[in-house]
Structures are given as C-alpha cells and as structure tokens.
C-alpha cells in the first residue's frame, strides 16, 4: 500500500539529529578520551602543575559540553535555515513497501530503493532512516504507520536484508 507524507521542518531537524547520533563505538571512544583527559588533569594537579592540570580538565569539559551545545543550539538553527531553502523536501511524496525494496514517488519522478542497495539503517520512536551511503539517507516518519504503511514489516525486512539498526 502506497502512503503519502511530507517532511516537516521538525521532521527534518529531528531526523538529521538522529543521523548525527553517535554510535556505541564512538561513544565509548569519547568516554575513554574524556576519562584520560580528566585523569591527566588530576595527575598534573597532584604533581603541582596547576596550569597543565587546568588545561587538561578544561579540555575534558569542552569535549563534553561543546558537542552538546552544538547539538542543542547551532545544528537546529542551521537545519531550519537549510529546510527553508530546500523546496523539494517540503513537497508530498509517497512510499510503498514492495518485495524488491521501497518504492518512492514524488510529483517529479519515482525510484525503487532495492534491499541490496541499502547501506544501513537507524531508528528511534519517531523516524526510520535508511542509508544508501554513510551520510546519504531517506527519512520515513514512523507516523506513516497510522495511514497504513507496514512499519513493523519494514523493520523486519531491514533486519533480515541489511542487519541490525546502527
């Protein structure tokens, strides 16, 4: 069954933030680096080197707060500005789950994204992101399930054809 939807500004911002979420592996790397910076800072302070110790602890604080501030304030601002300039994104589109993949249609054309061509996928409670390359993706709002799109069937097909969501 083909279901029509449009990507709102909120969809655009939230799905891009989901795309930007760190993987578990990357989170572990950040945790290790931040811990090492704090330990180096504490060690320097205990050895009497206040300037170096403060620099290490400041770097650890910056490594934690800067990405948070960017994610909360800067990135949404930039994404909203981008969305306003991206007219095609605001237009209605439809998607259909087929045996071969996902069929997308807009007023200007159509395409079938075949299962072997999907690089990865990611999900949260609001969106499913389907990657065709590491940073190129299609967004499906989970709310399209309310209009008859088989969201759980899509997840099962993605799981069996692509693997576990990242």
Q: What is the pLDDT of residue 89?
A: 87
Mean pLDDT, residues 125-140 taken together:
96
Q: What is the pLDDT of residue 127?
A: 98
CA-to-CA separations, 57 to 14, 48, 53, 65, 71, in angstroms, rounded: 32, 14, 6, 12, 22
Mean pLDDT, residues 31-42 taken together:
96
SS3 109: strand
Which residues are CB-contacts of 16 (< 8 A; sequence separation ≥ 6)?
75, 79
CB-CB contact of 16 with 135 (8 Å): no
Q: Does residue 166 belong to any structural domain of this protein?
A: no
- Asked whether residue 114 falls in the same domain as residue 154, the answer is yes
For residue 40, pLDDT beyond 90: yes
- Asked whether residue 14 falls in the same domain as residue 56, the answer is yes
- Asked whether residue 31 falls in the same domain as residue 97, the answer is no
Mean pLDDT, residues 66-91 taken together:
93
Q: What's the pLDDT band for 106 if we cut at 50, 70, 90?
A: very high
Q: Does residue 147 belong to any structural domain of this protein?
A: yes
Q: What's the pLDDT band for 9 if we cut at 50, 70, 90?
A: very high
| Last-in-domain residue among 39, 58, 85 | 85
Q: Which of 109, 151, 119 is nearest to 1 (CA)?
A: 151
Mean pLDDT, residues 101-108 taken together:
95
| Spatial distance between the Cα atoms of 96 and 74, rounded to a whole number of angstroms | 35
| Spatial distance between the Cα atoms of 70 and 64, rounded to a whole number of angstroms | 11
| Last-in-domain residue among 56, 85, 114 | 85
Total domains in the chain come to: 2
Q: What's the pLDDT band for 39 if we cut at 50, 70, 90?
A: very high
Instruction: Provide the domain limits for residue 62.
Output: 10-85
| Spatial distance between the Cα atoms of 106 and 104, rounded to a whole number of angstroms | 7
Which tokens in the block code for residue 127?
């969106």
Q: What is the pLDDT of residue 64?
A: 92
- Percent of the residues in the chain that have a pLDDT greater than 70, as a whole number: 100
Mean pLDDT, residues 132-148 taken together:
96
For residue 102, pLDDT beyond 90: yes
For residue 155, pLDDT beyond 90: yes
Q: How does the average pLDDT of the chain come out, rounded?
A: 95
Q: What is the pLDDT of residue 1?
A: 82
Q: Which of 63, 70, 71, 68 is nearest to 35 (CA)?
A: 63
Which domain CATH number covers 134? Answer: 2.30.29
For residue 38, pLDDT beyond 90: yes
């Amino acid at each position: 069954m083909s279901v029509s939807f449009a990507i709102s500004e909120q969809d655009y911002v939230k799905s891009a933030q989901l795309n930007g979420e760190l993987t578990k592996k990357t989170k572990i790397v950040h945790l290790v680096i931040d811990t090492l910076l704090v330990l180096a800072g504490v060690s320097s302070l205990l050895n009497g080197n206040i300037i170096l110790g403060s620099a290490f602890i400041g770097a650890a604080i910056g490594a934690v707060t800067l990405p948070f501030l960017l994610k909360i304030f800067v990135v949404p601002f930039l994404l909203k500005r981008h969305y306003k300039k991206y007219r095609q994104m605001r237009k209605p589109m439809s998607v259909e789950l087929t045996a071969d993949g996902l069929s997308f249609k807009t007023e200007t054309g159509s395409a079938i994204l075949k299962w072997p061509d999907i690089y990865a996928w990611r999900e949260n409670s609001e969106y499913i992101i389907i990657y065709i390359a590491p940073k190129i993706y299609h967004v499906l709002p989970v709310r399209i399930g309310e209009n008859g799109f088989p969201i759980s069937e899509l997840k099962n097909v993605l799981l069996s054809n692509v693997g576990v969501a990242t």
